[in-house]
Structure formats: structure tokens, C-alpha cells
Amino acid sequence: MALVLLLGGARSGKSAMAVQLAADSQAPVTFIATASAGDDEMAERIRRHRESRAAEWKTVEAPIDVLAPIRATPAGDFIVIDCLTLWVANLLGGGAGAAEIDSAAAEVVRALQARDSVVVSNEVGLGIVPVNELARSFRDVLGSVNALFAQAADRAVLMVAGRALDLASIESVLERT
């Protein structure tokens, strides 16, 4: 069983790699999508993502509760969660605090560790310091969630310009604390 975390910026190839890993698994796939179509542009993005998936894959829309579809997925299925970024944004937008989100993320990690799965997330901490409190909180909470998943993952990959950088050979500062 393997948990893979794919991190990267926008349009870095994260979702394409997740789809490829799921297809390569040869297992039935449950795709847990966390996006909500709040506008026409996002609806179009969601449509394009759906078209990139195999027709026989089961897609579950789960913008808030990703744990329930994980638990409902048959044991032999490969699970894709795309993405933690929007899930965290949805939780924050719904009033959840950092501790609540960290706790929910830890539950998701525990549920995925006994499964073959790939989780997609954006690395948002490489840019400028956001100018408002909500944006800084989002960046910080997502960074914490990403670190939690990276620690638990059997493989963590940073996607940059369509290239996959394996993070396994890089020492974790979290392991020293």
C-alpha cells in the first residue's frame, strides 16, 4: 500500500501525474474531487479535469467531507484526492479553524495509509507574504496540512513545469523535532 503526495504550483502537472498514477495502478479508481464551481471559469476547469479521467472511474464530489468517501471506497480501489488546496480553502471558508483542519487532515491521513492513493496539493508558501490575515492563515494552514501528508506519505513529489522532483532523498526537518 502506498500514499503518494503530489505538490506543486498552478499548472505544474500535479493532476496529470495523479491521473497517470491512478491509471497505472490497474485498479478500480475512486476520484474524490474537492472543487466547487463558483463561477464559469471554475466550471470549465472542472469539466476539463473530468474529461481527463477514464470513464469507468467513480468520481465523488466532496468539497468538505473527504473522509466519508474514503471510508465508502472498496478496499481494492485506488483513491485520488484532488486537491487538498481547495479542501482547506472550503473548510476555512466554512468557518473551521487551523486546529480543526489539522485534526481533519490527520484523520484523512490515517484513513489513506492503508490504501493505494495519491493526493494532490498546491505548494503556496513559495511566494510573497500575503497582505491580509485570511490569505496568510490559508497559506499557513495549507503548509501545515501539506507537511502532515508529506511526513505520512510513502512518496512525496514536487511538480515543477511538468517535471517530477522526488522529495524522498531530502531530509525532513520535522523528523528531527
What DSSP letter does each residue of 153-174 carry, written as one string?
Answer: -SEEEEEETTEEEE-TTSPPGG
Domain coverage including residue 105: 3-176
The count of residues in the chain is 177
Active-site hit among 49, 58, 115, 155: 49
How confident is the model at residue 173, as a pLDDT? 64
Please state the pTM of the whole predicted model.
0.90
Rg (CA), the chain: 15
How confident is the model at residue 121, as a pLDDT? 98
Sheet holding 3-8, edge to edge: 58-61, 29-33, 78-82, 117-122, 3-8, 155-160, 163-166
Q: Is 107 a catalytic residue?
A: no
CATH of the domain at 170: 3.40.50.300
- Could you state, in chain order, the average pLDDT of each consecutive group of 10 residues for the chain (177 residues)? 92 92 96 89 83 87 97 97 97 96 98 95 91 94 97 95 86 63
Count up the domains in the chain and report the number.
Answer: 1
How confident is the model at residue 1, as a pLDDT? 64
Hey, what's the cell of 50? 473530468
For residue 138, the one-letter residue type is F
How far is Cα of residue 131 from the mean position of the Cα atoms in its chain?
A: 25
Beta bridge partners of 77: none
How confident is the model at residue 168, as a pLDDT? 80
Instruction: Evaluate the CA torsion angle 28, 34, 37, 41 in order and state its sign.
Output: negative
